[in-house]
Amino acid sequence: MPELPEVETTRRGIAPHLEGKTVTRLIVRERRLRWPIPEDLAIQIEGQRFERIERRAKYLLMQIGGGTLIGHLGMSGNMRLVPAGTPAAKHEHVDIELDSGMALRYTDPRRFGALLWARAGEPHPLLAKLGPEPLSAEFDGERLYQLSRGKSSAVKPFIMDNAVVVGVGNIYASEALFAAGIDPRREAGRISRARYLKLAEEIKRILAYAIERGGTTLRDFVGGDGQPGYFKQELFVYGRPGQLCKVCGSTLSEVRLGQRSSVYCRQCQR
């Protein structure tokens, strides 16, 4: 599933090809995504110019004309630039053709993503209750400590709650907890301030590094597959159940928390 670093890598990849360009035609081959593509979307964006391509949590916010085109990659989606008129393969649901002769193509095999519209000055409900960005000054260990008081839920689902901090998905929550030495099963409300300060630092470090790696391992959003590459060879715990810990050499364990698989080291994480 694309997480925050992959979405940010996508934003950086497509922004130079969209900003300042005008939409000449919208082609929708499949409207039934996680939420249906608005019937009037062509009316809203055709003839309008992309102004800014931004990101909020895992949402791409494409400022255009009188509103914002909101994109979400779901579990399997991607966006890339192709020459306008390029024949579409299966699962290539939407083309936004530009006056540059290129088209932004949205592909989503599982159709769990979205393309929605928000008028200027009308915040979309999906964005209304989001917490701070993890790389912003508004997010720190003190916030985690204060919001966790009295909570009996495990710490991993707690830091994956978008009301607490946005964009810390399964991959990076697992890696940050390992780096901070915290067992993902620990009750959120029983973790000390000092440990939350360390965890917040690791969340910021790992996400920033993952974004940097995404920018170097994937360069081609024009004509390629548009798929950001996870830095799998650098993961310490995610996706490695039963393998040896890269730090202590013990066998990694797996547990389900919040309906998600969580891999951790019993020796390194307490």
Q: Where in the chain is the domain with CATH 3.20.190.10?
A: 4-119
pLDDT by residue (tens digit) across 61-110? 999 988 999 999 998 899 999 999 999 999 999 999 999 999 999 999 99
pLDDT of 76: 87
Which pTM does this prediction carry?
Answer: 0.90
CA–CA distance, 205 with 229 (Å, rounded to integer): 18
Top CATH class, 141-264: mainly alpha
Residue 221 has what pLDDT? Answer: 65
- For 220, residues 6+ apart whose C-beta sits below 8 A from its C-beta are none
Please pick, among 3, 8, 92, 97, the residue that the annotation labels catalytic. Answer: 3
- Residue numbers in the known binding site are 91, 110, 151
Domain 4-119 class in CATH: alpha beta
- Asked about 19 being catalytic, the answer comes back as no
Q: How would you classify the pairing of strands 78-83 and 102-107?
A: antiparallel
- Give the Cα separation of 248 and 251 in Å (integer): 9
The one catalytic residue in 11, 21, 55, 58 is: 58
Using an 8 Å Cβ cutoff, are 87 and 64 in contact? Answer: no
Written as one string, the DSSP assignment of 172-202 is HHHHHHHHHT--TTSBGGGS-HHHHHHHHHH
pLDDT of residue 215: 58
Annotation says 138 is catalytic:
no
* Start-end of CATH 1.10.8.50 domains in the chain: 141-264
pLDDT of residue 153: 96
Residue 234 has a pLDDT of 85
Is 3 annotated in the active site? yes
* Residues in the annotated binding site for DNA: 91, 110, 151
Contact 145, 196 (CB under 8 A): yes
Q: What was the pLDDT predicted at 116?
A: 96
The pLDDT value recorded for residue 230 is: 64
What is the model's pLDDT at position 121? 84
Q: Which residue has the tokens 């780096």?
A: 179
For 27-66, letters b (16+ CB in 10 Å) and e give bbeeeebbeebeeebbebbeeebbeebebbbbbbbbbbbe
User: How many CB atoms are located within 10 Å of the residue 266 CB?
Assistant: 13
Residue in the block written with tokens 């915040």: 123
Note down pLDDT in tens along the chain; length 270 residues.
788 998 999 999 999 999 999 999 999 999 999 999 999 999 999 999 999 999 999 999 999 988 999 999 998 899 999 999 999 999 999 999 999 999 999 999 999 999 999 999 888 899 989 999 999 999 999 999 999 999 999 999 999 999 999 999 999 999 999 999 999 999 999 999 999 999 999 999 999 998 888 755 655 666 666 777 666 668 999 999 999 999 999 999 999 998 889 999 999 999
Q: What local confidence, expressed as pLDDT, does residue 255 receive?
A: 97
Set 204, 205, 213, 260: catalytic member = 260
Sheet strands (E) in the chain: 23-28, 50-56, 59-64, 67-72, 78-83, 92-98, 102-107, 114-119, 253-257, 260-264
